[in-house]
Protein backbone atom coordinates (compact mmCIF):
# COMPACT_ATOMS: atom_id res chain seq x y z
CA UNK A 1 0.00 0.00 0.00
CA UNK A 2 1.47 3.31 -1.15
CA UNK A 3 2.31 5.51 1.84
CA UNK A 4 0.00 8.54 1.74
CA UNK A 5 0.15 9.22 5.47
CA UNK A 6 1.69 12.67 5.07
CA UNK A 7 -0.96 13.62 2.52
CA UNK A 8 -3.82 12.49 4.77
CA UNK A 9 -2.24 14.21 7.79
CA UNK A 10 -1.81 17.45 5.84
CA UNK A 11 -5.41 17.24 4.57
CA UNK A 12 -6.59 16.81 8.16
CA UNK A 13 -4.52 19.73 9.44
CA UNK A 14 -5.42 22.13 6.61
CA UNK A 15 -8.98 21.25 5.60
CA UNK A 16 -10.51 19.36 8.53
CA UNK A 17 -9.23 20.46 11.93
CA UNK A 18 -10.21 23.96 13.07
CA UNK A 19 -7.59 26.62 12.64
CA UNK A 20 -6.39 28.54 15.68
CA UNK A 21 -8.36 31.58 14.48
CA UNK A 22 -11.57 29.58 14.09
CA UNK A 23 -11.16 28.03 17.52
CA UNK A 24 -10.50 31.43 19.08
CA UNK A 25 -13.62 32.89 17.46
CA UNK A 26 -15.85 30.11 18.79
CA UNK A 27 -14.34 30.40 22.25
CA UNK A 28 -14.99 34.14 22.14
CA UNK A 29 -18.64 33.55 21.24
CA UNK A 30 -18.92 31.03 24.05
CA UNK A 31 -17.50 33.48 26.58
CA UNK A 32 -19.73 36.29 25.30
CA UNK A 33 -22.89 34.23 25.70
CA UNK A 34 -21.92 33.15 29.19
CA UNK A 35 -21.43 36.79 30.10
CA UNK A 36 -24.76 37.75 28.49
CA UNK A 37 -26.57 35.09 30.50
CA UNK A 38 -24.96 36.11 33.79
CA UNK A 39 -25.48 39.83 33.22
CA UNK A 40 -29.01 39.34 31.94
CA UNK A 41 -30.04 37.16 34.86
CA UNK A 42 -28.69 39.73 37.30
CA UNK A 43 -30.47 42.56 35.51
CA UNK A 44 -33.73 40.59 35.48
CA UNK A 45 -33.38 39.67 39.17
CA UNK A 46 -33.12 35.99 38.34
CA UNK A 47 -30.89 33.41 40.04
CA UNK A 48 -27.34 32.91 38.83
CA UNK A 49 -26.35 29.58 37.27
CA UNK A 50 -24.05 27.26 39.18
CA UNK A 51 -22.00 26.49 36.06
CA UNK A 52 -21.91 26.22 32.28
CA UNK A 53 -21.31 22.95 30.46
CA UNK A 54 -19.78 22.94 26.98
CA UNK A 55 -21.17 19.98 25.07
CA UNK A 56 -21.05 18.38 21.63
CA UNK A 57 -18.19 18.19 19.17
CA UNK A 58 -16.52 21.38 20.41
CA UNK A 59 -16.19 19.91 23.89
CA UNK A 60 -15.15 16.51 22.53
CA UNK A 61 -12.50 18.03 20.26
CA UNK A 62 -14.02 16.49 17.14
CA UNK A 63 -15.48 19.62 15.58
CA UNK A 64 -14.40 20.13 11.96
CA UNK A 65 -14.34 23.02 9.52
CA UNK A 66 -17.75 23.91 8.11
CA UNK A 67 -18.69 25.58 4.87
CA UNK A 68 -20.24 29.04 5.33
CA UNK A 69 -19.20 29.07 8.98
CA UNK A 70 -22.14 26.80 9.83
CA UNK A 71 -20.93 25.78 13.27
CA UNK A 72 -23.28 24.44 15.94
CA UNK A 73 -22.16 24.99 19.51
CA UNK A 74 -23.83 23.53 22.60
CA UNK A 75 -23.45 25.42 25.87
CA UNK A 76 -25.54 24.15 28.75
CA UNK A 77 -26.69 26.41 31.62
CA UNK A 78 -27.06 24.68 35.00
CA UNK A 79 -29.12 26.03 37.92
CA UNK A 80 -29.91 24.53 41.28
CA UNK A 81 -33.45 23.21 41.53
CA UNK A 82 -33.98 25.34 44.59
CA UNK A 83 -33.20 28.52 42.66
CA UNK A 84 -35.72 27.81 39.90
CA UNK A 85 -38.85 28.52 41.90
CA UNK A 86 -41.91 30.55 41.03
CA UNK A 87 -43.42 33.39 43.06
CA UNK A 88 -45.37 30.95 45.26
CA UNK A 89 -42.45 28.61 45.79
CA UNK A 90 -43.40 25.97 43.22
CA UNK A 91 -40.86 24.63 40.71
CA UNK A 92 -40.64 26.59 37.49
CA UNK A 93 -41.85 24.63 34.50
CA UNK A 94 -39.30 23.48 31.94
CA UNK A 95 -40.66 26.05 29.48
CA UNK A 96 -40.44 28.88 32.01
CA UNK A 97 -36.82 27.96 32.77
CA UNK A 98 -35.92 28.19 29.09
CA UNK A 99 -37.69 31.53 28.85
CA UNK A 100 -35.63 32.84 31.77
CA UNK A 101 -32.40 32.04 29.87
CA UNK A 102 -33.78 33.39 26.59
CA UNK A 103 -34.70 36.70 28.21
CA UNK A 104 -31.26 36.91 29.83
CA UNK A 105 -29.18 36.20 26.74
CA UNK A 106 -31.26 38.45 24.47
CA UNK A 107 -29.46 41.73 25.07
CA UNK A 108 -30.59 43.29 21.80
CA UNK A 109 -27.28 42.75 20.00
CA UNK A 110 -28.52 39.95 17.71
CA UNK A 111 -30.04 40.65 14.30
CA UNK A 112 -32.35 37.68 14.82
CA UNK A 113 -33.42 37.34 18.47
CA UNK A 114 -32.77 34.08 20.33
CA UNK A 115 -35.60 31.54 20.23
CA UNK A 116 -37.01 29.14 22.78
CA UNK A 117 -36.81 25.65 21.26
CA UNK A 118 -37.98 22.33 22.68
CA UNK A 119 -34.63 21.39 24.26
CA UNK A 120 -32.72 24.67 24.33
CA UNK A 121 -32.50 28.37 23.68
CA UNK A 122 -31.11 28.92 20.19
CA UNK A 123 -28.88 31.87 19.30
CA UNK A 124 -28.20 32.92 15.72
CA UNK A 125 -25.10 34.80 14.61
CA UNK A 126 -25.08 36.73 11.35
CA UNK A 127 -21.85 34.99 10.29
CA UNK A 128 -23.59 31.59 10.28
CA UNK A 129 -22.69 30.26 13.73
CA UNK A 130 -25.54 28.83 15.79
CA UNK A 131 -25.41 28.32 19.56
CA UNK A 132 -27.81 26.07 21.45
CA UNK A 133 -28.11 26.63 25.20
CA UNK A 134 -29.94 23.77 26.94
CA UNK A 135 -31.13 24.55 30.46
CA UNK A 136 -30.65 22.18 33.41
CA UNK A 137 -31.52 22.04 37.07
CA UNK A 138 -29.49 20.05 39.57
CA UNK A 139 -30.14 18.72 43.03
CA UNK A 140 -27.85 16.94 45.48
CA UNK A 141 -24.20 16.98 46.49
CA UNK A 142 -20.95 16.25 44.64
CA UNK A 143 -21.05 12.52 45.39
CA UNK A 144 -24.68 12.33 44.22
CA UNK A 145 -26.24 14.82 41.91
CA UNK A 146 -29.38 14.47 39.83
CA UNK A 147 -29.55 16.70 36.78
CA UNK A 148 -32.65 17.30 34.68
CA UNK A 149 -33.02 18.90 31.26
CA UNK A 150 -35.72 21.47 30.57
CA UNK A 151 -37.41 19.79 27.62
CA UNK A 152 -41.15 19.29 27.07
CA UNK A 153 -41.01 18.56 30.78
CA UNK A 154 -38.11 18.10 33.17
CA UNK A 155 -36.28 14.85 32.36
CA UNK A 156 -33.21 13.18 33.85
CA UNK A 157 -30.05 13.97 31.90
CA UNK A 158 -26.27 13.81 32.12
CA UNK A 159 -24.87 16.82 30.23
CA UNK A 160 -21.24 16.00 31.05
CA UNK A 161 -21.52 12.24 30.59
CA UNK A 162 -20.73 12.06 26.88
CA UNK A 163 -17.73 14.36 27.34
CA UNK A 164 -16.38 12.14 30.11
CA UNK A 165 -17.07 8.94 28.13
CA UNK A 166 -15.24 10.23 25.06
CA UNK A 167 -12.28 11.50 27.10
CA UNK A 168 -11.91 8.01 28.58
CA UNK A 169 -12.02 6.48 25.08
CA UNK A 170 -9.29 8.83 23.87
CA UNK A 171 -7.09 7.91 26.83
CA UNK A 172 -6.72 4.40 25.42
CA UNK A 173 -7.27 5.24 21.73
CA UNK A 174 -4.84 8.11 21.08
CA UNK A 175 -5.75 8.65 17.42
CA UNK A 176 -9.50 8.53 17.96
CA UNK A 177 -10.17 12.26 17.73
CA UNK A 178 -8.27 12.57 14.44
CA UNK A 179 -10.00 9.51 12.98
CA UNK A 180 -13.42 10.82 14.02
CA UNK A 181 -12.67 14.16 12.36
CA UNK A 182 -11.61 12.43 9.14
CA UNK A 183 -14.69 10.21 9.08
CA UNK A 184 -16.85 13.26 9.75
CA UNK A 185 -15.18 15.07 6.84
CA UNK A 186 -15.97 12.12 4.58
CA UNK A 187 -19.63 12.77 5.40
CA UNK A 188 -19.55 16.57 5.42
CA UNK A 189 -17.96 16.61 1.98
CA UNK A 190 -21.14 14.99 0.64
CA UNK A 191 -23.67 17.71 1.54
CA UNK A 192 -26.39 16.30 -0.71
CA UNK A 193 -26.48 13.10 1.36
CA UNK A 194 -28.34 12.73 4.65
CA UNK A 195 -25.76 11.01 6.87
CA UNK A 196 -25.43 10.25 10.62
CA UNK A 197 -24.72 12.74 13.38
CA UNK A 198 -21.28 13.36 14.79
CA UNK A 199 -22.10 11.38 17.93
CA UNK A 200 -23.11 8.33 15.89
CA UNK A 201 -19.86 8.56 13.93
CA UNK A 202 -17.88 8.94 17.16
CA UNK A 203 -19.47 5.82 18.67
CA UNK A 204 -18.79 3.81 15.51
CA UNK A 205 -15.18 5.00 15.29
CA UNK A 206 -14.67 4.02 18.92
CA UNK A 207 -16.21 0.58 18.37
CA UNK A 208 -14.10 -0.01 15.27
CA UNK A 209 -10.85 1.62 16.37
CA UNK A 210 -7.89 -0.15 14.70
CA UNK A 211 -4.58 -1.17 16.18
CA UNK A 212 -2.34 1.89 15.75
CA UNK A 213 0.01 1.26 12.84
CA UNK A 214 1.91 4.53 12.98
CA UNK A 215 0.39 5.55 9.63
CA UNK A 216 -2.80 7.61 9.59
CA UNK A 217 -3.67 6.53 6.04
CA UNK A 218 -3.55 2.86 6.99
CA UNK A 219 -5.44 3.48 10.24
CA UNK A 220 -8.15 5.46 8.43
CA UNK A 221 -8.53 2.72 5.84
CA UNK A 222 -8.86 0.07 8.54
CA UNK A 223 -11.40 2.21 10.39
CA UNK A 224 -13.49 2.65 7.24
CA UNK A 225 -13.35 -1.09 6.54
CA UNK A 226 -14.23 -2.01 10.12
CA UNK A 227 -17.17 0.41 10.31
CA UNK A 228 -18.45 -0.92 6.99
CA UNK A 229 -18.30 -4.50 8.25
CA UNK A 230 -20.04 -3.43 11.46
CA UNK A 231 -22.87 -1.73 9.56
CA UNK A 232 -23.34 -4.65 7.19
CA UNK A 233 -23.96 -6.70 10.33
CA UNK A 234 -26.24 -4.13 12.02
CA UNK A 235 -27.33 -0.53 11.47
CA UNK A 236 -28.33 -0.07 15.10
CA UNK A 237 -26.14 2.23 17.22
CA UNK A 238 -26.67 2.34 20.99
CA UNK A 239 -26.22 5.36 23.19
CA UNK A 240 -22.81 5.02 24.87
CA UNK A 241 -24.18 5.81 28.35
CA UNK A 242 -27.93 5.27 28.58
CA UNK A 243 -29.01 1.65 28.72
CA UNK A 244 -31.88 0.89 26.37
CA UNK A 245 -31.50 4.17 24.46
CA UNK A 246 -30.46 4.23 20.82
CA UNK A 247 -28.93 6.92 18.63
CA UNK A 248 -30.57 5.38 15.56
CA UNK A 249 -34.29 5.63 14.89
CA UNK A 250 -34.83 1.96 14.11
CA UNK A 251 -33.15 -1.15 12.68
CA UNK A 252 -33.10 0.33 9.17
CA UNK A 253 -32.20 3.92 9.97
CA UNK A 254 -31.94 5.61 6.53
CA UNK A 255 -29.02 7.87 7.47
CA UNK A 256 -26.91 4.99 8.74
CA UNK A 257 -27.95 2.84 5.75
CA UNK A 258 -26.78 5.58 3.39
CA UNK A 259 -23.51 5.84 5.29
CA UNK A 260 -23.01 2.08 4.91
CA UNK A 261 -23.55 2.43 1.15
CA UNK A 262 -21.00 5.26 0.96
CA UNK A 263 -18.50 3.07 2.81
CA UNK A 264 -19.21 0.13 0.48
CA UNK A 265 -17.91 2.21 -2.43
CA UNK A 266 -15.04 3.53 -0.31
CA UNK A 267 -13.88 0.02 0.60
CA UNK A 268 -13.96 -1.01 -3.06
CA UNK A 269 -11.89 2.03 -4.03
CA UNK A 270 -9.36 1.52 -1.25
CA UNK A 271 -8.90 -2.12 -2.26
CA UNK A 272 -7.23 -0.77 -5.42
CA UNK A 273 -4.35 0.39 -3.21
CA UNK A 274 -3.27 -3.25 -2.93
CA UNK A 275 -2.76 -3.72 -6.67
CA UNK A 276 0.87 -4.43 -7.54
CA UNK A 277 0.87 -1.66 -10.15
CA UNK A 278 -0.73 0.96 -7.87
CA UNK A 279 1.23 4.18 -8.21
CA UNK A 280 1.31 7.19 -5.92
CA UNK A 281 -0.93 9.17 -8.27
CA UNK A 282 -3.43 6.31 -8.40
CA UNK A 283 -3.45 6.03 -4.60
CA UNK A 284 -4.05 9.77 -4.20
CA UNK A 285 -6.90 9.64 -6.72
CA UNK A 286 -8.56 6.92 -4.66
CA UNK A 287 -8.22 8.98 -1.48
CA UNK A 288 -9.56 12.00 -3.35
CA UNK A 289 -12.66 10.02 -4.27
CA UNK A 290 -13.13 8.44 -0.84
CA UNK A 291 -12.81 11.73 1.04
CA UNK A 292 -14.61 13.64 -1.71
CA UNK A 293 -12.12 16.51 -1.75
CA UNK A 294 -9.98 18.43 -4.23
CA UNK A 295 -7.22 18.86 -1.65
CA UNK A 296 -4.98 16.24 -3.28
CA UNK A 297 -5.19 17.67 -6.82
CA UNK A 298 -1.81 19.39 -6.80
CA UNK A 299 -0.11 16.34 -5.27
CA UNK A 300 -1.72 14.16 -7.94
CA UNK A 301 -0.33 16.38 -10.71
CA UNK A 302 3.13 16.33 -9.16
CA UNK A 303 3.00 12.54 -8.80
CA UNK A 304 1.85 12.07 -12.40
CA UNK A 305 4.64 14.32 -13.67
CA UNK A 306 7.20 12.49 -11.55
CA UNK A 307 5.95 9.10 -12.78
CA UNK A 308 6.03 10.30 -16.37
CA UNK A 309 9.62 11.50 -16.01
CA UNK A 310 10.70 8.27 -14.35
CA UNK A 311 9.07 6.24 -17.11
CA UNK A 312 10.84 8.32 -19.78
CA UNK A 313 14.19 7.85 -18.03
CA UNK A 314 13.58 4.13 -17.77
CA UNK A 315 12.86 3.90 -21.49
CA UNK A 316 15.94 5.96 -22.29
CA UNK A 317 18.11 3.82 -20.03
CA UNK A 318 16.76 0.69 -21.63
CA UNK A 319 17.59 2.05 -25.07
CA UNK A 320 21.18 2.86 -24.14
CA UNK A 321 21.85 -0.66 -22.96
CA UNK A 322 20.49 -2.43 -26.06
CA UNK A 323 23.12 -4.51 -27.91
CA UNK A 324 24.15 -3.24 -31.32
CA UNK A 325 22.45 -5.07 -34.15
CA UNK A 326 24.49 -7.96 -35.59
CA UNK A 327 25.78 -7.38 -39.12
CA UNK A 328 27.00 -10.30 -41.20
CA UNK A 329 30.54 -9.76 -42.42
CA UNK A 330 32.27 -11.48 -45.34
CA UNK A 331 35.63 -13.16 -44.87
CA UNK A 332 38.31 -12.81 -47.50
CA UNK A 333 41.23 -15.19 -47.30
CA UNK A 334 44.61 -13.47 -47.72
CA UNK A 335 46.20 -14.04 -51.09
CA UNK A 336 49.42 -16.05 -51.16
CA UNK A 337 52.27 -15.99 -53.67
CA UNK A 338 54.36 -18.93 -54.71
CA UNK A 339 57.99 -18.37 -54.25
Per-residue pLDDT of the chain (339 residues; tens, 9 = 90+): 999 999 999 999 999 999 999 999 999 999 999 999 999 999 999 999 999 999 999 999 999 999 999 999 999 999 999 999 988 889 999 999 999 999 999 999 999 999 999 999 999 999 999 999 999 999 987 667 899 999 999 999 999 999 999 999 999 999 999 999 999 999 999 999 999 999 999 999 999 999 988 999 999 999 999 999 999 999 999 999 988 889 999 999 999 999 999 999 999 999 999 999 999 999 999 999 999 999 999 999 999 999 999 888 888 877 666 666 666 666 565 655 544
Residue 132 sits in the same domain as residue 235 = no
Residue 155 sits in the same domain as residue 23 = yes
**Packing angle between helix 176-188 and helix 280-291, nearest 10 degrees?**
70
H or E element in which residue 184 lies: helix 176-188
155 within 8 A of 149, measured Cβ to Cβ: yes
Instruction: State the residue range of the domain holding 231.
Output: 174-301
pLDDT of residue 275: 96
Out of 103, 124, 159, a domain closes at 159
pLDDT of residue 198: 96
- Split into its structural domains, the chain has a count of 2
Decide if 13 is inside a domain.
Answer: no
Decide if 318 is inside a domain.
Answer: no
Out of 159, 183, 206, a domain closes at 159
pTM more than 0.85: yes
pLDDT of residue 332: 60
- 294 to 3, 221, 265, 300: CA distances (angstroms): 19, 19, 18, 10
Beta strands at 130-133 and 135-141: parallel, antiparallel or unpaired:
unpaired
Decide if 313 is inside a domain.
Answer: no
Greatest alpha-carbon span in the chain? 152
pLDDT of residue 140: 84
Decide if 265 is inside a domain.
Answer: yes
pLDDT of residue 324: 63
Amino acid sequence: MIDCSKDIRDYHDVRVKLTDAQTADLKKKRASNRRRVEDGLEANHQPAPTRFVTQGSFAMGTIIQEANNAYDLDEGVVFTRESLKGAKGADKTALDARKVVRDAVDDGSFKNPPLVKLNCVRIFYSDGVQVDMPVYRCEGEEDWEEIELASQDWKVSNPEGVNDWFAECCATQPSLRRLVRLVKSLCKNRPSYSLPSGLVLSVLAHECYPVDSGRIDRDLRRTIEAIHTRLVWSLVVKHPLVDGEYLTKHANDPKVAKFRDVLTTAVEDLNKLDLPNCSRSMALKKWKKVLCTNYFDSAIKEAEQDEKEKAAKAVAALGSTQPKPWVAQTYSAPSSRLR
